[in-house]
């Protein structure tokens, strides 16, 4: 893989990671103003990877409300998280060391575990994206960290903390294809999408004449594009960027054409837990751990400064 | 229930694809399976060995692995087919192995004396298979074949993993929008159950018609 060619292909990184201004002062009226052990205002600007977990905030005992989900998790001693094991840069299991799962989502899940338990005790349940709502509803998992786009339909079934990240769908084509420059050129073309991704509904909205072919996993979709089963592959920008970084038969073209706010999926109507997690999100944003997690994962393939996280509660459904 | 009604058209179309795959692959696998059985009981050693190898290979490799191989490895070998025909062909060759095993057990129910008698009255091998052995073998294995056909109908759902828009794939898409997996997948499950029941009842009816009372 060639980092320099990646950089040439992806000059748009800053635009992707849609920036929203954070109104930090507005949130300090809640429980966030309590002094938190281990958190200091000038920490988190270190450059090494371990900085992600260095000085990670831990919740005060008074935040773990009696009878709440947080208390149940603390008593159990592990945070049960639905997260992928096959998403490079987001949540990827090391094949030679199954205990090691790294990426942006994975690091945030560990940070949340530290916040509740004091240590990064995470039990991962790999979610099929079609069963995330059921996993939350029946209590199999506590939270979902799974590039889970916040939508109003989904918000009727589950609650979303965050958004904690904002990305968007983009178009990838074979490196030797110069005809397709973005979503506008996909009319009448065969477009490969991942099954159960937002692309399934977003592509027909933009290009009703495009024919969709969907594959169960991202590697299958990439393989199908390279073998010529479709003219283009529409997928989340971050995923395409990491694919293009690893495979020079693939390139990302044009700007992302949607905005996908990722939320942390929670059991429906658990307002205490949602507030608790939103408070935590603010703390890791202020403390710098959010930025370090980004830099250690997505930041390695995207040429950009650490983006400003989206404002919590800024999206319908969150 | 509202969701299933709102998306009735697309779901019905996808159900059509599922049924089409099941019927085409069902007929194909019955024909291929009987041919494999004939090879397996033939007096030619190399045919017998080939049929044995065929059955063992397809019974011992998971269908999903075969589908992924056919869809992603064959194009690398220079052979690229549209997705739905690829999936149907894989279903045919896979289920034919199970059909062949079922029919072979039926062949074993045909008395050795009958085969000897058919040769004694001057029937060729092909004729004795066609007029004596296979008809009786098929009648004896209606129920096992029905079970293979039910498995085949359920197995069409795996084609969703390689991009064929059949019932499971469409249901996944609907769920993606509405995010109500329990309602949506229960609905789809009931449809699959209805397909299995229909095959089962049909099998029972055929069996009563053709059963050989011994």
Q: What is the CATH number of the domain that holds A40?
A: 3.40.190.10
Indicate the length of chain B as a whole number. Answer: 214
Provide the pLDDT for residue A318: 83
Tally of domains in chain B = 1
Kindly write down the DSSP assignment for every residue of A38-106, as one continuous string: T--TT-S---SGGGGTTT-----GGGS-TTSHHHHHHHHTSEEEE--SEETTTEEEETTEEEEEESHHH
Instruction: Look up the domain containing A186 and give its range.
Output: 169-253
Indicate whether B111 belongs to any domain: yes
Mutation site for B-interface testing, chosen from A82, A138, A195 by largest number of B Cβ within 10 Å = A195
Kindly state whether residue A110 falls inside one of the protein's structural domains.
yes
A10: in domain? no
Residue B198 lies in a domain: no
Contact A103, A88 (CB under 8 A): yes
Query: For residue A90, is it left (φ>0), alpha (ψ between -120 and 50) or beta?
Result: alpha
Question: Considering its fold, how many domains does chain A have in total?
Answer: 2
Q: Give a yes or no: residue B200 inside a domain.
A: no
Domain identity same for A265 and A129? yes
CB neighbours of B7 closer than 8 A, spacing ≥ 6?
A: B174
The mean of the pLDDT values for chain B is: 91
Residue A144, beta-bridge partner list = A82, A265
- Please check whether residue B189 lies inside any domain of the structure: no
**Are residues A229 and A210 part of one domain?**
yes
**Please, are residues A292 and A51 in contact by the beta-carbon 8 Å criterion?**
yes
How far is B174 from chain A, CA to nearest CA, in Å? Answer: 9
Q: Do B175 and A137 touch (CB under 8 A)?
A: no
**Interface predicted TM-score of the whole assembly (ipTM), two decimals:** 0.71
The mean pLDDT of A116-126, rounded to a whole number, is 92
How many Cα atoms occupy the beta-carbon half-sphere of A200 within 13 Å? 21
CATH assignment of the domain containing B133? 1.10.3720.10
One domain, residues A53 and A155: yes
DSSP chain B: -HHHHHTHHHHHHHHHHHHHHHHHHHHHHHHHHHHHHHHHHSS-HHHHHHHHHHHHHHHHS-HHHHHHIIIIITGGGT----HHHHHHHHHHHHHHHHHHHHHHHHHTTS-HHHHHHHHHTT--HHHHIIIIIHHHHHHHTHHHHHHHHHHHHHHGGGGGGGT--SHHHHHHHHHHHH--HHHHHHHHHHHHHHHHHHHHHHHHHHHHHHPPP-
Q: CB-CB: which of A153, A156, A195 is closest to B172?
A: A195
A69 part of a folded domain: yes
Q: Indicate whether B5 belongs to any domain.
A: no
Are A118 and A84 found together in one domain? yes
pTM of the model: 0.68
* pLDDT-derived band at A303, boundaries 50, 70, 90: low
Q: Examine the pLDDT at A317 and tell me if it is beyond 70.
A: yes
Residue pLDDT, tens place only, B49-104: 999 999 999 999 999 999 999 998 888 888 888 899 999 999 999 999 999 999 99
pLDDT of residue A283: 93
Residue B167 has pLDDT above 70, yes or no: yes
Question: In the sheet that A211-215 helps form, which strands lie side by side, from edge to edge?
Answer: A211-215, A190-194, A232-236, A169-174, A250-253
Per-residue model confidence (pLDDT) at position A25: 38
**Which residues from chain A sit within 8 angstroms of residue B80, using beta carbons?**
227-229
**Length of chain A, in residues:** 318
Is B175 contained in some domain?
no
Residue A78 included in any domain: yes
| Residue-range definition of the domain harbouring residue B45 | 19-165
The answer to whether the CB atoms of B169 and A223 lie below 8 A apart is: no
> What is d(CA B68, CA A284) in angstroms, rounded to the nearest whole number?
42
For residue range A29-80, list pLDDT tens digits in order. 333 333 344 433 333 333 334 678 888 899 988 888 888 999 999 999 999 9
Residues A127 and A213 placed together within one structural domain of the fold: no
CB contact under 8 A, B80 and A131: no
- The answer to whether position B144 is within a domain reads yes
Phi-psi region of A19 (alpha: psi -120 to 50; beta: other; left: phi over 0): beta
């Amino acid at each position: 893989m060639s980092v320099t060619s990646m950089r040439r292909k992806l000059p748009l990184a800053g635009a992707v990671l849609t920036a929203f201004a954070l109104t930090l002062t507005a949130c300090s009226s809640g429980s966030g103003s309590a002094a938190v052990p281990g958190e200091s205002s000038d920490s988190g600007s270190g450059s090494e990877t371990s900085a992600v977990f260095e000085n990670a905030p831990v919740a005060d005992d008074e935040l773990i409300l009696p009878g709440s989900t947080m208390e149940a998790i603390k008593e159990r001693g592990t945070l049960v998280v639905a997260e992928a094991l096959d998403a490079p840069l987001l949540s990827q299991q090391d094949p030679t060391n199954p205990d090691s799962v790294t990426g942006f989502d994975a690091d945030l899940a560990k940070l949340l575990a530290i916040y509740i338990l004091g240590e990064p005790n995470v039990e991962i349940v790999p979610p099929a994206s079609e069963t995330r709502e059921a996993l939350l509803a029946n209590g199999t998992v506590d939270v979902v960290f799974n590039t889970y786009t916040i939508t109003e339909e989904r918000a009727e079934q589950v609650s979303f903390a965050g958004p904690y990240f904002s990305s968007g769908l983009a178009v990838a084509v074979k490196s030797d294809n110069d005809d397709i420059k973005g979503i506008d050129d996909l009319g009448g073309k065969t477009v490969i999408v991942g099954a159960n991704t937002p692309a399934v509904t977003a592509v027909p909205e933009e290009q009703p004449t495009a024919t969709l072919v969907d594959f169960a996993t991202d590697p299958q979709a990439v393989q199908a594009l390279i073998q010529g089963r479709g003219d283009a592959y529409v997928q989340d920008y971050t995923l395409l960027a990491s694919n293009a970084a690893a495979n020079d038969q693939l390139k990302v073209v044009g700007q992302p054409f949607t905005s996908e706010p990722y939320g942390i999926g929670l059991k429906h109507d658990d307002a205490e837990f949602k507030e608790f997690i939103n408070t935590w999100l603010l703390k890791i944003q202020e403390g710098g751990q959010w930025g370090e997690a980004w830099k250690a994962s997505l930041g390695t393939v995207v040429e950009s400064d650490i983006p400003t996280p989206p404002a919590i509660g800024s999206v319908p459904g969150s | 229930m509202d969701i299933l009604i709102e998306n009735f058209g697309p779901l019905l179309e996808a159900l059509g694809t599922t049924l089409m795959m099941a019927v085409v692959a069902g007929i194909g696998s019955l024909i291929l399976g009987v041919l494999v059985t004939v090879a397996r009981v033939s007096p030619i050693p190399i045919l017998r060995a080939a049929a044995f190898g065929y059955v063992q290979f397809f019974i011992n490799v998971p269908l999903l692995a075969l589908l992924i191989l056919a869809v992603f490895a064959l194009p690398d070998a220079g052979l690229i087919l549209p997705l739905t025909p690829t999936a149907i062909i894989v279903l045919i060759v896979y289920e034919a192995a199970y059909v062949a095993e079922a029919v072979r057990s039926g062949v074993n129910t045909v008395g050795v004396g009958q085969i000897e008698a058919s040769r004694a009255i001057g029937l060729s091998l092909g004729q004795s298979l066609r007029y004596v052995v296979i008809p009786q073998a098929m009648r004896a294995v209606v129920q096992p074949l029905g079970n293979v056909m039910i498995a085949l109908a359920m197995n069409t759902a795996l084609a969703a993993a390689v991009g064929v828009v059949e019932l499971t794939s469409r249901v996944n898409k609907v769920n993606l929008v509405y995010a109500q997996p329990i309602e949506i997948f229960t609905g789809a499950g009931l449809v699959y159950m209805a397909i299995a029941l229909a095959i089962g009842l049909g099998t029972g009816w055929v069996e009563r018609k053709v059963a050989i009372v011994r």
